[in-house]
Structure 1
Amino acid sequence: MADRLMTPQGRDLAYNKSNGTGPGIVFLGGFKSDMDGTKALHLETWAKAQGRAFLRFDYSGHGQSSGAFEDGCIGDWLADAAAAVEGLTEGPQVLVGSSMGGWIALLLARAIPERVAGLVTIAAAPDFTENGFWEGFSDADRATILNRGRIELPSDYGDEPYVITRRLIEDGREHLVLNHPLPLPFPVRFLQGAADADVPVDWAMRLLEHAEGDDLRLILVKGADHRFSTPECLGLIEASIEDVLHRARR
């Protein structure tokens, strides 16, 4: 049974927390995913074996948390993540962000850098509402969103379609990171599958080129897709977290 956190905005978030040494690890899930996914559960088990503090949670409208998915937006989920980090962890944390969670991790690094010891992103998708959805929409799709306030897109990860709202698009524009300076003054590892059909490799290259920091690395894995959940990929995530933790202590 998940524990509950009430955010300052009145949203009821589900979370699971394991106590241990710091810096702790916070897993930030992807768009319409939940904290019971393969990567989150694997890393929780791994962190417990290491005696390392670990936190996973569901954004509002996701998983076991309150709210409807289509009512949410990047700003809401960023606020949820900030509430979880600030309310459930102590000291700097290593943020592990998957897909949209990578965007959320970058926004947290910008908003509360003192609480970030390092980053590991997996198929990070910063600015995807603009560079993915909006740029990929036809004129008819854009008209539908502007006039009706929403559009439904087929999903490759379940039977239910993705509902993309006008609010999601417009709020996303208030949280872009690739058109502003992006200082990352701590160890960062960007992991990216070369066979990812959802987040193109050139997005990862653009992020690497745009971010500013002395210890940034992009690791490309040939054949890996967006799920990045094979035993080899999971092992690489573990190794990247260990690398970041080692360098964060220096």
Structure 2
Amino acid sequence: MSDPQYLETPQGRRIAYHLTAGDGPCVVFLGGLKSDMEGTKAVHLEAWCATQGRAFLRFDYSGHGQSSGTFEDGCIGDWAEDTAAAITTLTTGKVIPVGSSMGGWQSLLFCRAHPERVAGLVTIAAAPDFTEDGYWASFTEDQKATLEREGQIAMPSDYMEPYIITKRLVDDGRNQLVLRDPLPLPFAVRCLQGTADSAVSTETAVRLLNHAESPDMRLLLVKDADHRFSDGPCLGLIEQAVTDVIAAAS
């Protein structure tokens, strides 16, 4: 495994990344909450793009992986700034974001802010607005009081150790919501979702499909696939989705 390079963002955060040169549009992998750029999907896509001679970027948000900061200090807006800094500084021309889970939300934020830079979009178990519609909506009154009083609360996860959810994460999330106002995505979009996903529901995927405005947006539900979406057949579906949006942009 090669050592990452580092980018200093305008906000003073140090972002670890791997950038592979190649033809555009550059594929950019955006990982999930508390995941990092060494995950199966990111590394697989990097190798696949290399066989295609296509440019590829993967990076860690601040407080994740090899980047600076701690997870508990971060929020959706911070990671959106990291995403914008990485893409605008390290790539040229158009890009194809591939957003997994929270990275799906991040990809939508980037597409909304910089539509001129996007050739197409792929999401994998996208989790837009989860701080509000997932965490806050599911909290009991006692949990909400604890969050207000102590500034954080521990949430169990089916996929790793419990998350520490902070009041800042929830409060900032309300400023980053993408499912309340119009969401134009003027390019091809492919959304992938497993029916056995215990972190993101198929209802969320359908809600995004119905809400966004796109000339060519499709949702593929994969029976029995879980939130990781990283076995061989699922990785093949990600490759096909990227191939589809590249073809649509040509």
Please name the residue that 1:148 is paired with.
150
The range that moved more, 145-154 or 102-111, is 145-154
Q: Secondary structure at the match of 1:56?
A: strand
CA distance in structure 1 between the partners assigned to 2:136 and 2:35 by the alignment: 21
Q: Secondary structure at the match of 2:10?
A: coil
Unpaired segments ≥5 residues, structure 1: none
Q: Superposed, which structure 2 residues align to 1:1-250 within 5 Å? A: 1-158=3-160, 160-249=161-250
Q: Deviation at 1:154?
A: 2.2
TM-score by length of 1: 0.98
- Partner amino acid for 2:124? I
Q: Deviation at 1:118?
A: 0.6
CA distance in structure 1 between the partners assigned to 2:8 and 2:246 by the alignment: 30
CA distance in structure 1 between the partners assigned to 2:47 and 2:16 by the alignment: 18
CA distance in structure 2 between the partners assigned to 1:207 and 1:161 by the alignment: 27
CA distance in structure 1 between the partners assigned to 2:212 and 2:28 by the alignment: 21
CA distance in structure 1 between the partners assigned to 2:195 and 2:205 by the alignment: 10
- Partner amino acid for 1:128? F
What is the percent sequence identity of the aligned residues?
64
Q: Deviation at 1:156?
A: 2.5
Q: Deviation at 1:175?
A: 0.4
CA distance in structure 1 between the partners assigned to 2:159 and 2:244 by the alignment: 31
> Runs of at least 4 residues of structure 1 off by over 6 A?
none
Q: How many residues align?
A: 248
- Partner amino acid for 2:227? H
Q: Secondary structure at the match of 1:86?
A: helix
Q: Secondary structure at the match of 1:26?
A: strand
Q: Secondary structure at the match of 1:174?
A: coil
CA distance in structure 2 between the partners assigned to 1:19 and 1:84 by the alignment: 15
Q: Secondary structure at the match of 1:195?
A: coil
CA distance in structure 2 between the partners assigned to 1:214 and 1:194 by the alignment: 25
CA distance in structure 2 between the partners assigned to 1:85 and 1:201 by the alignment: 29
TM-score by length of 2: 0.98
Q: Deviation at 1:153?
A: 1.6
Q: Secondary structure at the match of 1:189?
A: strand
Unpaired segments ≥5 residues, structure 2: none
CA distance in structure 2 between the partners assigned to 1:197 and 1:237 by the alignment: 20
Residues 96 and 120 of structure 2 are in contact (CA less than 8 Å); yes or no, is this contact kept in structure 1?
Answer: yes
What is the alpha-carbon root mean square deviation over aligned residues? 0.6
Q: Deviation at 1:157?
A: 2.5
Q: Secondary structure at the match of 2:24?
A: strand
- Partner amino acid for 1:207? L
